[in-house]
C-alpha cells in the first residue's frame, strides 16, 4: 500500500553558485559552496544537516562523492548518498529524500550538485562523453552523439505532426526572454527565431541555439519535514505531488519517439497533488534541446499530442504568457553544467513560490510543475510544488 507524500515535506533553503565559466573553483568547491549557501538561506547551521545527497562530477569524479562532500564539510550524516544524476535522477532523488524524511531516516537533508563542464574538461574529453552515451553495440558504431539522438525525436515529431523548425526555435527564444530578466543567467542577449535558424547546424534539424549551454556551476536545496519547516525563516515550499516514469536506457529501444514516460510521471504527480496541468502557474521543463520541451509540454498535459509546436509558437512560454516555462532561462540560456542542470530549475521554483524572483516573478504564483528527464528521454520525474501545504 503506497503512502502519499503530499504536503509532508518542504523545501526550506535554496541557493546557486555563479554559473558559466568559473575556473577558480573545482566541482567539489562549487558543490560545497552551494550547500553552505542553501543551509544559510534556510537559517540553519551545517551541523543541523543529517542527510546528504550529491551527484558525481564528470570533471572531478570521486569513488565516494557524498562521503567526501560530508568530510569536506566536517559533518557526519546518517543518510548519505551519491546518485547518477543524469537529468531526471535529480528529481528522483528528491522523491527518495522526501521518503527518507517521512520514514525517519533523516530529519533535514541537503541536496547539492555541481560540475565544471566548461572549464574542467578538455574538448577531447567532452567529445568522448558525448559519443560514449549510445548503446555500444547498436548505436555507437554509427557515430552518433547526444545531439543526433535528440534530432531523431525532432525529426519524428516533424514527420508525424508537421512541426516546423520555426516552432522549435520559439522554445529557445522564450527561454532567452526569461534569461534576459535574470541577472544570474549565462546568456541574456535577446534572440529571434531567425537567429536560431541562422545559427550553425549541429544535427539536422537542430541548430546551435536549439542546444543547451555548456557551463560550470552548482546548486543546492535543503529539505525538512513540514512540521519543522514552519519554524524556519522563509515561506516553506511544499512537495505536493511527485511521479516517475522509466521506459528505456538507449534511444534505439524506445517504443515511441514522440511520446515519453513524462506522461506517466505527470499523471502520478497530478494524482498525488489532486491538481491538473491547467492549475499550474508556471512550469520548469528540462530543455537540453528544444524538441525535449515540445514532447514534455504534450505529455504533461499542457496541450494535446501534436500541438506542442503551435502552443510554443503562440508565445505561451514567454514572460507573461499563458504558461511561463523555464523562468530562469533553462538549460538553453541560464546554464547547463551536466548532471546538476535541473537543480537550477528547482531553486528557481522555490524563489517563484516564495514570490521573491524579482523582475522575472510570475505574478501570484501558487503552484508550479518541475520536470526533468535523464538519458535520451529515458527516465522522467515530475514534481508539483506549492505555497500551501494542501
Domain ranges of the chain: 9-121+215-229, 143-214+242-386
Q: Using CA of residue 303, residue 304, residue 305, residue 310, what is the dihedral sign?
A: negative
- Residue 85 is predicted with a pLDDT of 57
Give the residue carrying C-alpha cell 530543455. 287
The CATH code of domain 9-121+215-229 reads 3.40.47.10
Q: Do the beta carbons of residue 289 and residue 152 sit within 8 Å?
A: no
Phi-psi region of 209 (alpha: psi -120 to 50; beta: other; left: phi over 0): alpha
Q: Do the beta carbons of residue 62 and residue 114 sit within 8 Å?
A: no
Distance CA 294, CA 286 (A): 10
* Beta partners for residue 172, in sequence order: none
**Which class does domain 143-214+242-386 fall in?**
alpha beta
Annotate 71-91 with b (16+ C-beta within 10 A) or e (fewer). Answer: eebebebebbbbbebbbbbbb
- Residue 107 is predicted with a pLDDT of 97
How many other CB atoms are found less than 10 A from the CB of residue 124?
8
The three-point CA angle 185-186-192 to 5° equals 90
- Residue 132 is predicted with a pLDDT of 67
pLDDT in tens, 108-166: 999 999 999 999 987 777 667 666 677 788 778 887 888 999 999 999 999 999 999 99
Distance CA 390, CA 382 (A): 18
Distances (CA, A) of 131 to 125, 266, 298: 10, 30, 29
Q: Do the domains spanning 9-121+215-229 and 143-214+242-386 agree at the CATH topology level?
A: yes
Q: Using CA of residue 116, residue 122, residue 125, residue 126, what is the dihedral sign?
A: positive
- Residue 141 is predicted with a pLDDT of 81
Q: Do the beta carbons of residue 139 and residue 45 sit within 8 Å?
A: no
Distances (CA, A) of 233 to 50, 94, 134, 267: 19, 21, 46, 33
Distances (CA, A) of 194 to 43, 56, 231, 310: 46, 38, 50, 17
- Residue 2 is predicted with a pLDDT of 61
**Lookup: cell for 334:** 541560464
- Residue 66 is predicted with a pLDDT of 96
Residue 13 makes CB contacts below 8 A (sequence gap 6+) with 38, 39, 40, 41, 42, 43, 44, 110, 220, 221, 222, 234
The residues of the chain scoring below 50 in pLDDT are: 1
Distance CA 339, CA 347 (A): 15
Kindly state the DSSP code that residue 180 receives in the 8-state scheme: T
**Lookup: cell for 59:** 570533471
Torsion of CA 350, 241, 294, 114, to 10 degrees: 50
Q: Do the beta carbons of residue 168 and residue 224 sit within 8 Å?
A: no
Amino acid at each position: 500500500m503506497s503512502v502519499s507524500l503530499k504536503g509532508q515535506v518542504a523545501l526550506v533553503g535554496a541557493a546557486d553558485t555563479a554559473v558559466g565559466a568559473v575556473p577558480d573553483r573545482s566541482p567539489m568547491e562549487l558543490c560545497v559552496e552551494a550547500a553552505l549557501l542553501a543551509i544559510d538561506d534556510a537559517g540553519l547551521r551545517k551541523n543541523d544537516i543529517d542527510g546528504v545527497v550529491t551527484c558525481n562530477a564528470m570533471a572531478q569524479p570521486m569513488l565516494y562523492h557524498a562521503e567526501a562532500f560530508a568530510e569536506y564539510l566536517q559533518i557526519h550524516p546518517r543518510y548519505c548518498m551519491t546518485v547518477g544524476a543524469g537529468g531526471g535522477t535529480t528529481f528522483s532523488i528528491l522523491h527518495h529524500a522526501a521518503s527518507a524524511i517521512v520514514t525517519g531516516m533523516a530529519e533535514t537533508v541537503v541536496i547539492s550538485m555541481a560540475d565544471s563542464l566548461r572549464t574542467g574538461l578538455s574538448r577531447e574529453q567532452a567529445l568522448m562523453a558525448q559519443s560514449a552515451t549510445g548503446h555500444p553495440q547498436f548505436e555507437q558504431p554509427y557515430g552518433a552523439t547526444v545531439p543526433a539522438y535528440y534530432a531523431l525525436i525532432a525529426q519524428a515529431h516533424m514527420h508525424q505532426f508537421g512541426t516546423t523548425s520555426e516552432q522549435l526555435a520559439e522554445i529557445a527564444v522564450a527561454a532567452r526572454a526569461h534569461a534576459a530578466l535574470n541577472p544570474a543567467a549565462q546568456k541574456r542577449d535577446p534572440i529571434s527565431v531567425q537567429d536560431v535558424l541562422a545559427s550553425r547546424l549541429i544535427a539536422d534539424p537542430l541548430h546551435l541555439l536549439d542546444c543547451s549551454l555548456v557551463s560550470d556551476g552548482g546548486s543546492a536545496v535543503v529539505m525538512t519535514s513540514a512540521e519543522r519547516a514552519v519554524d524556519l525563516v522563509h515561506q516553506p515550499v511544499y512537495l505536493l505531488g511527485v511521479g516517475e516514469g522509466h521506459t528505456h536506457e538507449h534511444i534505439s529501444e524506445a517504443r515511441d519517439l514522440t511520446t515519453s514516460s513524462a506522461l506517466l510521471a505527470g499523471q502520478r504527480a497530478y494524482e498525488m497533488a489532486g491538481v491538473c496541468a491547467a492549475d499550474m502557474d508556471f512550469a520548469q521543463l528540462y530543455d537540453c534541446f528544444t524538441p525535449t520541451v515540445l514532447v514534455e509540454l504534450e505529455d504533461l498535459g499542457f496541450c494535446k499530442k501534436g500541438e506542442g509546436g503551435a502552443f510554443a509558437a503562440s508565445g505561451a512560454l514567454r514572460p507573461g504568457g499563458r504558461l511561463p516555462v523555464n523562468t530562469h532561462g533553462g538549460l538553453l540560456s541560464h546554464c547547463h553544467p551536466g548532471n546538476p542542470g535541473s537543480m537550477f530549475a528547482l531553486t528557481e521554483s522555490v524563489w517563484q513560490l516564495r514570490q521573491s524572483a524579482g523582475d522575472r516573478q510570475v505574478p501570484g504564483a501558487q503552484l508550479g510543475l518541475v520536470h526533468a528527464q535523464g538519458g535520451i528521454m529515458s527516465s522522467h520525474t515530475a514534481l508539483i510544488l506549492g505555497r500551501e501545504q494542501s
